[in-house]
Copies of this chain bind each other. A is one copy, B any other.
């Protein structure tokens, strides 16, 4: 029996049971109240709780979550604007690059690296600064307008990794939860931020709109593998960028305490 696939399908099924109406087209999530109940109550200090909350969301222990807990908004603000976010991103990029240098890149042009876009190549921090650092219920309209503006800056550590991977001979594929109708502004934003010469930009087409990100992104990586690409590495800020099937040889999880996408 194909139990690997079955397990994945079953997990996605279970996830679908716990997931309310998803904002399919976008990188942000549903309109549902937070459910921290017991977890929020028993911690003594906010700082201590928020450090542990962040650990839990980054290690995927918290499962699906919807907004940053109110008592951790300041913590997230400090994390995103202070030294830690930058430092974490840099160390992860450094690990990725160190691994990439060990890959025997073939001359056949089939060694691939897959990047997610939002909070991986591009930073939407300027948007979230004005929208409560992930503490507000996601507003599709204002986020669409932000995406349309094509002004998201590059995440510096990812930009460096992107550039160095190209120099090492990797083919770069971009795999985003954004939709086909956002191709033009996305491409414009990537150029604006300095990301050039990628091999292909995958966006959600009509047939992808109802899918969880884990499935959609796994299917696209599978397409790459079916075309003979060796998916050597993958970088993303969500576990749904990295898990599932047709996974990369090595996956690099960037931090993101602003939102969660299943």
Q: Which residues of A contact B (CB under 8 A)?
A: 2-8, 10-11, 14, 18, 37-39, 42-43, 48-49, 51-53, 55-56, 58-63, 83-84, 87-88, 90-92, 94-99, 102, 222, 225, 245-247, 249-253, 255
CA distance A49 to B53 in the complex (A): 21
CA distance A78 to B249 in the complex (A): 34
Tell me which residues across on chain B come within 8 A of A52, comparing CB atoms. 84, 87-88, 90-92
Chain B's nearest CB lies how many Å from the CB of A15? 9
Secondary structure at the A interface, as helix, strand, loop or mixed, is: helix
Chain B's nearest CB lies how many Å from the CB of A225? 8
Do B5 and A60 touch across chains, with their CB atoms under 8 A apart? no
Q: For A247, give its contact among B7, B48, B96 (CB under 8 Å).
A: B7
Do B98 and A38 touch across chains, with their CB atoms under 8 A apart? yes
CB within 8 Å for A43 and B253 given contacts A3-B222, A7-B4: no
Can you name 23 A-B residue pairings with CB atoms under 8 Å? Answer: A7-B246, A7-B247, A11-B247, A38-B98, A39-B94, A49-B87, A49-B91, A51-B87, A52-B91, A52-B92, A55-B88, A55-B255, A58-B58, A58-B59, A59-B59, A59-B253, A60-B253, A61-B95, A61-B96, A61-B252, A61-B253, A62-B95, A63-B95
Do A56 and B3 touch across chains, with their CB atoms under 8 A apart? no
CA distance A11 to B18 in the complex (A): 30
CB within 8 Å for A249 and B43 given contacts A37-B98, A49-B91, A61-B92: no
Closest to A221 in B: B7
CB within 8 Å for A55 and B91 given contacts A60-B253, A98-B38: yes
Do B87 and A251 touch across chains, with their CB atoms under 8 A apart? no
Q: For A4, give its contact among B49, B96, B245, B253 (CB under 8 Å).
A: B245
Chain B's nearest CB lies how many Å from the CB of A5? 4
Chain B's nearest CB lies how many Å from the CB of A92? 5
Do B58 and A55 touch across chains, with their CB atoms under 8 A apart? yes
CA distance A252 to B62 in the complex (A): 8
Tell me which residues across on chain B come within 8 A of A95, comparing CB atoms. 39, 56, 61-63
Closest to A96 in B: B61
CA distance A99 to B96 in the complex (A): 33
